[in-house]
Amino acid sequence: MANAYPVQLTHLESLYLSDSISMFMQGPPDGLQGQASPYPTLLLKIGGAVLETDQQSSQVTVYFSLPELWVIREVTRSSVVIGSERVGLSLLLKVYAGIRALAAESAIQTTVDEFGEVISNEPGKEDYSDRFEDLKRKGGKFGGKNKNSKGSSADRSADED
């Protein structure tokens, strides 16, 4: 799914989230201003995970948007342990991985929107690609041998140019 991150949830994680998120919380976090409350949709996803993990006795994958991940992050406490499962810490690690991935994706998209995509027949692109391959072959900065590796003196002097 575009703009969503897959999170594997256990039965206990699903139950914890179901108990922690309410449709009647005090409105969306600051990052969600101007949007309708995401909680009904989020609760449907979590409720589905509760049902599926109960029926399957295994983890299920749920796709969360960036705003939904922030809501989950806000209600999750790292110190929560249910039985022997560290539910809080496990959820936070998954949520932060999703936030980081979706934030990076958003930053890349912003850059592409601002500067445009690099296309294969763009003028000058092949020159950079050829130069990169030359550096790799000669053991330059981007690959191959480094200055500390044993190579011919010609290779080392070419690297220093």
Separation CA 96–CA 13 (nearest Å) = 15
In a domain, 158, yes or no: no
The whole domain housing 57 covers 5-115
Is the Cα torsion angle 15, 51, 42, 22 positive or negative in sign? Answer: negative
Separation CA 28–CA 158 (nearest Å) = 58
In a domain, 125, yes or no: no
How many other CB atoms are there within 10 angstroms of residue 65's CB atom?
A: 19
Give the pLDDT confidence of 12-59 residue by residue, as tens digits.
999 999 999 876 655 555 555 555 555 788 999 999 999 999 998 889
Number of domains in the chain: 1
In a domain, 142, yes or no: no
The Cβ-side half-sphere exposure at 129, using a 13 Å CA radius, reads 9
Q: Which residues contact 156 (CB under 8 A, 6 or more apart)?
A: 147
For residue 109, the model assigns a pLDDT of 76
Separation CA 158–CA 144 (nearest Å) = 13
Q: 140 — phi, psi (to 5°)?
A: -75, -160
Read off the pLDDT band of 70 (50, 70, 90).
very high
In a domain, 79, yes or no: yes
CB 65 within 8 A of CB 10: no
In a domain, 124, yes or no: no
In a domain, 126, yes or no: no
Give the pLDDT confidence of 128-154 residue by residue, as tens digits.
666 667 776 776 554 444 444 444 444
> Worst-scoring range by mean pLDDT, 85-89, 111-115, 121-125?
121-125
In a domain, 61, yes or no: yes
In a domain, 157, yes or no: no
